[in-house]
Structure formats: C-alpha cells, structure tokens
Amino acid sequence: MSVFRIAVTAVGVAATLARHPVVRAGIKAAPYLITPKMRADAAEAVLATAYKAGVAARRLIRPRKLT
C-alpha cells in the first residue's frame, strides 16, 4: 500500500471519529477535566521533548565552521 493511500485512509478515519457523538462530548468536556497540575505536567513534557529533539538534531547535523 502506498504512503498516499495510507495518508488518505488515516484522514478518513480521523474525520469519521471526529463526528462521533462520544468523541465530540469528550472534546467539549476536556477543559473541565484537566487540572492545573495536568496542564503543568503537559507543558513540562513538551519542553523536555523539544529539548531532546534539539540535542538529537545537534548530534546528527554537523556543525558549520565559520570561515
């Protein structure tokens, strides 16, 4: 199966799930279920992941020499 067909299938599944009443109710209720601690933990996880991605990129990409 080509990458294009997989992408089209994934978009179709996501669109179908987004219209489901239970999913829509969960999305509406999400702001009321998330505590400040959960929000802070999520922000910390995003920052840590971004830092690790930067470290990996610096290891993979050769540093440019300024001449």
Domain ranges of the chain: 3-60
DSSP 20: S
* Full-model pTM: 0.47
Give me the pLDDT at residue 26, please.
86
Q: How confident is the model at residue 3 (pLDDT cuts 50, 70, 90)?
A: confident
Give me the pLDDT at residue 66, please.
55
Cα-based angle 8, 11, 12 (whole degrees, multiple of 5): 85
Per-residue pLDDT of 8-66, as tens digits, reads 999 999 898 888 999 889 888 888 888 999 989 999 999 999 999 988 888 888 766 65
